[in-house]
Amino acid sequence: MGTDFNAEETKRLVQETLQKMRDYCNPSLARLLKFTGYDTVELEAQGAVIKDVYGREYIDCAGGYAVFNIGHRHPKVIRAVKEQLDRMPLSSKVFLSKPMVDLAELLAKIAPGNLKYSFFCNSGAEAVEGAIKLARLATKKTRIISTIGAFHGKTFGALSATGREIYKAPFRPLVGDFTHVTFGDPEAIEEAIDEGTAAVILEPIQGEAGIVIPPPDFLVEVRRICTEKKVLLIIDEIQTGLGRTGRMFAVEHYGVEPDIMTLAKGLSGGVVPIGAFMGIPEVWEALSPNPLIITSTFGGNPLACAAAKAAIEVVLEEGLCEKAAYLGDYLLNSLRDLQVGHANIISDVRGKGLMIGLELAREGLGGIIIPEMLKEGLTAVYTLNNPRVIRFEPPLVITKSQIDKVVEGVERAVGKAQSKYSALFGES
Ligand SMILES: Cc1ncc(COP(=O)(O)O)c(C=O)c1O
């Protein structure tokens, strides 16, 4: 790793990049990045480490919001992508595509229950769009029950399922017939279901809501209710899937089998974007009368499918589910130990596997802790629907000694917040 620039040129490159971000992309995000200390330029990444143009290294605690499960630039995925690139990166869309069917076959082998068929697209939101359309098509009903705080993406259908007003209000009217109930409450779901209900859509653990883990019997109960009421269960594993929570899919913790499941993020191996929705045969049948009813020009492209197949093989071959479970416990317990001495700063630490949320006692504290963590060489981000929760979703290939460095860095960052606490909040 390294750059060919001297110190002066590097500084100029950073300033120019920030300026272009302001001038041509997103002025307010540019301001926010500068404010939080993220006004540097990423250069390259390997494993669990990102390097910027100054040569500074960061342990990637954010993990691209659960994209980099197998680490940055895993050699097996890079090799598979390079080979495919030299042969045929995008599909003609007129012939059969071997990389796509090979990936679908592998997914059918590892997916829970009877999920057998896959449709590939390019992002999480698109996968959710497809899942909702499939549910409506298969049931000939329209209502979708979602949950408050849920995050399913920002395209119109996915946004309608998303449960936070701030992202929805400016774009109304959204897609009709969506109802939101409390996450973790099976009775609320049962009450919301009526004769017009097509499906219930749930994240097994709400990610953007602040790493919210439901009561242990929640998903089992929802499964029972959906089966009894003949309503489809869509499980969104876009953030939780591919080993993140210590199992290949988070529903496996509860022994629940979805009718439809969405995937994206970690499925790409962190190299080429991909999204997918899967379905059981009884549901998939609804697509048969018109084989072109759901299509995507770039969806299922050979490059992305070769990457995803290699990425799944890495998760299996390197035992990354087991590693996430073991290292997740270690990180969770270490952060909980930290909470003991700083209860006025950290109000909760929760998670499953390497999907961990550290909840701050007050909203303003993140503005100190996140930039301090960055100075410690740790990337850190809030969850999108809950600015009091800092998430830890590092690559599952992170080592124990890197986790020790993370905890030491968080401890110093929390110490800084502690020393500024009374100045900020007028109490000690
Ligand atoms: C659970 C879940 N569903 C859907 C999405 C949307 O994915 P994308 O940003 O790829 O559209 C996300 C993204 O954070 C997510 O966490």
Residue with the smallest CA separation from ligand 1 atom 10 is 124
Share of the chain above pLDDT 70, in %: 99
Task: State the distance from the centre of ligand 1 to the C-alpha of 366, rounded, in angstroms.
Answer: 23
Residue 385: per-residue pLDDT? 79
Please check whether residue 1 lies inside any domain of the structure: no
What does the pLDDT look like over 169-218, one tens digit per residue?
Answer: 999 999 999 999 999 999 999 999 999 999 999 999 999 999 999 999 99
Choosing from 203, 265, 382, 391 the residue with most ligand 1 atoms within 8 A of its CB, the one to mutate for a pocket test is: 265
Domain boundary among 302, 317, 332: 317
Catalytic site residue 425?
Answer: no
Q: How far is CA 121 from CA 106, 203, 299, in A?
A: 17, 19, 4
Candidates 384, 381, 359, 393; CA nearest to 153 is: 384
267 and 385 belong to one structural domain: no
Please check whether residue 239 lies inside any domain of the structure: yes
What does the pLDDT look like over 74-104, one tens digit per residue?
Answer: 999 999 999 999 999 999 999 999 999 999 9
State whether the beta carbon of 238 lies less than 6 angstroms from ligand 1: yes
Residue 428: per-residue pLDDT? 56
Please check whether residue 2 lies inside any domain of the structure: no
Residue 421: per-residue pLDDT? 78
Catalytic residue among 119, 151, 218, 277: 151
pLDDT classification of 423: cutoffs 50, 70, 90: confident
Q: Higher confidence at residue 385 or residue 297?
A: 297
Q: Higher confidence at residue 84 or residue 387?
A: 84
126 and 52 belong to one structural domain: no
Q: What is the mean pLDDT of the chain?
A: 96
pLDDT for residue 308 is more than 90: yes
Residue 38: per-residue pLDDT? 87
Catalytic site residue 265?
Answer: yes
CATH of the domain at 265: 3.40.640.10
Domain boundary among 317, 346, 361: 317
pLDDT classification of 45: cutoffs 50, 70, 90: very high
Are residues 370 and 381 in contact, defined by beta-carbon separation less than 8 angstroms?
A: yes
310 and 175 belong to one structural domain: yes
Token pair of 371, please? 């930039």
Residue 4: per-residue pLDDT? 72
pLDDT classification of 427: cutoffs 50, 70, 90: low
State whether the beta carbon of 207 lies less than 6 angstroms from ligand 1: yes
Are residues 177 and 199 in contact, defined by beta-carbon separation less than 8 angstroms?
A: no
How far is the C-alpha of 88 from the C-alpha of 167, rounded, in Å?
Answer: 38
239 and 285 belong to one structural domain: yes
Please check whether residue 222 lies inside any domain of the structure: yes
**Residues contacting 169, CB < 8 A, separation 6+:** none
CATH of the domain at 345: 3.90.1150.10
Share of the chain above pLDDT 90, in %: 92
Domain boundary among 317, 344, 366: 317
Q: How far is CA 146 from CA 132, 137, 186, 189, 215, in A?
A: 11, 18, 12, 8, 17
Residue with the smallest CA separation from ligand 1 atom 3 is 152
Residue with the smallest CA separation from ligand 1 atom 8 is 124
Q: How far is CA 137 from CA 198, 256, 371, in A?
A: 9, 23, 47
Catalytic site residue 68?
Answer: no
117 and 250 belong to one structural domain: yes
Token pair of 336, please? 């909980």
249 and 204 belong to one structural domain: yes
Is pTM beyond 0.95 here?
yes
Q: What is the DSSP letter of 24?
A: I
pLDDT for residue 237 is more than 70: yes
307 and 219 belong to one structural domain: yes
Catalytic residue among 51, 141, 265, 323: 265
pLDDT classification of 116: cutoffs 50, 70, 90: very high
State whether the beta carbon of 264 lies less than 6 angstroms from ligand 1: yes
State whether the beta carbon of 125 lies less than 6 angstroms from ligand 1: yes
3-state SS of the chain: helix, strand, coil percent to 5? 45, 20, 35
Residue 296: per-residue pLDDT? 97
Compute how many other C-beta atoms are within 10 angstroms of the C-beta atom of residue 109. 10
Residue 425: per-residue pLDDT? 79
How far is the C-alpha of 219 from the C-alpha of 232, rounded, in Å?
Answer: 13
Instruction: Give the range of the structural domain holding residue 293, as residue numbers without chain letter.
Output: 75-317
Residue 35: per-residue pLDDT? 86
Task: State the distance from the centre of ligand 1 to the C-alpha of 124, rounded, in angstroms.
Answer: 5
Choosing from 155, 239, 383 the residue with most ligand 1 atoms within 8 A of its CB, the one to mutate for a pocket test is: 239
pLDDT for residue 386 is more than 90: no
Rg (CA), the chain: 22
What does the pLDDT look like over 250-301, one tens digit per residue?
Answer: 999 999 999 999 999 999 899 999 999 999 999 999 999 999 999 999 999 9
State whether the beta carbon of 151 lies less than 6 angstroms from ligand 1: yes
227 and 365 belong to one structural domain: no
205 and 258 belong to one structural domain: yes
What does the pLDDT look like over 136-178, one tens digit per residue?
Answer: 999 999 999 999 999 999 999 999 999 999 999 999 999 999 9
Task: State the distance from the centre of ligand 1 to the C-alpha of 289, rounded, in angstroms.
Answer: 30
pLDDT classification of 1: cutoffs 50, 70, 90: very low
pLDDT for residue 2 is more than 60: no
Residue 364: per-residue pLDDT? 86
Task: State the distance from the centre of ligand 1 to the C-alpha of 4, rounded, in angstroms.
Answer: 36
Residue with the smallest CA separation from ligand 1 atom 4 is 152
Catalytic residue among 52, 60, 236, 259: 236
Count structural domains, the chain. Answer: 2
279 and 364 belong to one structural domain: no
Rounded to 10 degrees, what is the CA torsion of 80, 403, 206, 107?
20
284 and 403 belong to one structural domain: no
Task: State the distance from the centre of ligand 1 to the C-alpha of 422, rounded, in angstroms.
Answer: 38
How far is the C-alpha of 44 from the C-alpha of 49, rounded, in Å?
Answer: 9
Choosing from 151, 201, 237 the residue with most ligand 1 atoms within 8 A of its CB, the one to mutate for a pocket test is: 151
291 and 332 belong to one structural domain: no
